[in-house]
Amino acid sequence: MLDVLRGLYNAAAGMVTQQRRHDTVTQNISNVNTAGYKQNDTVIRSFPEVLVSMIGGEPGNPRHVIGKLNTGVFAEESIALHLQGDLRETGQASDFAIVSELNVIDEDTGLGMVFDGSGRHVGEDGEVTYRPQAFFTVQDNNGNLRYTRSGEFRVGPEGQVLTSAGFQVLGADNQPIVLTGGAADLTVNEQGFILDGAGNPTGQTLGVAVVSAPNDLVKEGNGLYRLNNEDGFRMLAAGDNVIIRQGYIEASNVDASKSMVELTAALRAYETNQKVVQFYDRSLEKAVNEIGRV
């Protein structure tokens, strides 16, 4: 009976895990056309293994160890994949995209770290380092500093540069950007400097922050992220491999084809666990109504 209950719980845990995986992939697909959106991946891990022993197994060894048993899986967390998305030209002067390929020097070798397809570098000691990423800095309605890769900006009636949700875009000095001549003055070079009609810097710069550990960012909606670690970012510096493209926006980095395959896999895994639950349910029914009756 204990084995039946254990199997029932394992299958139920699998159903819950696949449901969360399904929800994550569905969210990715629904944001496939959202500018600056970063794909989320569900991290699935197993529960800690337990030792199975037999009471009175051998003389002098009342708890003979049989072996280890896994007790199911769970969806531990959902991690955003902060990789560069494709650029889409819009022709709008208020649209901006960040193109970044920031490097990190390995202190042990003195060479640049090589990052894999998920933006991770695993050192010889197993330490994981994520590639730093650049973000536009904005200010929400409560005056809090936030970060975004969605550069679909607009110019307000008083010359302030705003996000599509109405939040103020900040400059390199963490102050809201206000254009003296309105939208006509919004010309930005690849370094983020705002230029006047003659192509000369006006003294204002788009605020771009470099987040050293982008996986520490927390999503808040409207394409915004917050960073709880105040020391986890710095402003863009000369020499950083980051450029600003005006008249472009960064598309979502969601792979629609891969997401559909993963969605189908999650659905099938859910159905398989569901059938296992039904099997154990019928076994328990027989144990109670037929075997128990005897």
Read off the pLDDT band of 263 (50, 70, 90).
Answer: very high
Question: Which one is predicted more confidently, 65 or 201?
Answer: 201
How far apart CA 58 and CA 30 sit, in angstroms, is 59
Separation of CA 127 from chain center: 20
How far apart CA 25 and CA 42 sit, in angstroms, is 8
Tokens encoding 197: 């009609």
120: left (phi over 0), alpha (psi -120 to 50) or beta: beta
pLDDT(162) > 90: yes
| pLDDT (0 to 100) of residue 3 | 60
Tell me what the pLDDT averaged over the chain comes to: 86
At CA 81, angle to CA 76 and CA 84, rounded to 5? 175
| Residues present in the chain in total | 294
How far apart CA 273 and CA 70 sit, in angstroms, is 16
> Can you tell me the mean pLDDT for 232-245?
91
pLDDT(67) > 80: no
Q: What percent of the chain clears pLDDT 70, i.e. is strictly above it?
A: 89
How far apart CA 14 and CA 44 sit, in angstroms, is 10
pLDDT(119) > 70: yes
| pLDDT (0 to 100) of residue 97 | 96
Short-list 212, 84, 207, CA closest to 147: 207
Q: Convert the pLDDT of each residue in 33-58 to its tens digit.
A: 999 999 999 988 887 776 666 665 55
Tokens encoding 130: 């994520």
pLDDT(123) > 90: no
> Can you tell me the mean pLDDT for 226-231?
87
At CA 18, angle to CA 17 and CA 21, rounded to 5? 90
Q: What percent of the chain clears pLDDT 90, i.e. is strictly above it?
A: 49
The interaxial angle of helices 256-286 and 2-30, nearest 10 deg, is 160
pLDDT(184) > 80: no
Tokens encoding 208: 């771009």
pLDDT(292) > 60: no
How far apart CA 275 and CA 108 sit, in angstroms, is 52
Tell me the pTM.
0.82
**Secondary structure in 3-state letters for 22-38:** HHHHHHHHHCCCCCCCC
How far apart CA 14 and CA 4 sit, in angstroms, is 15
Residue 185 DSSP class? G
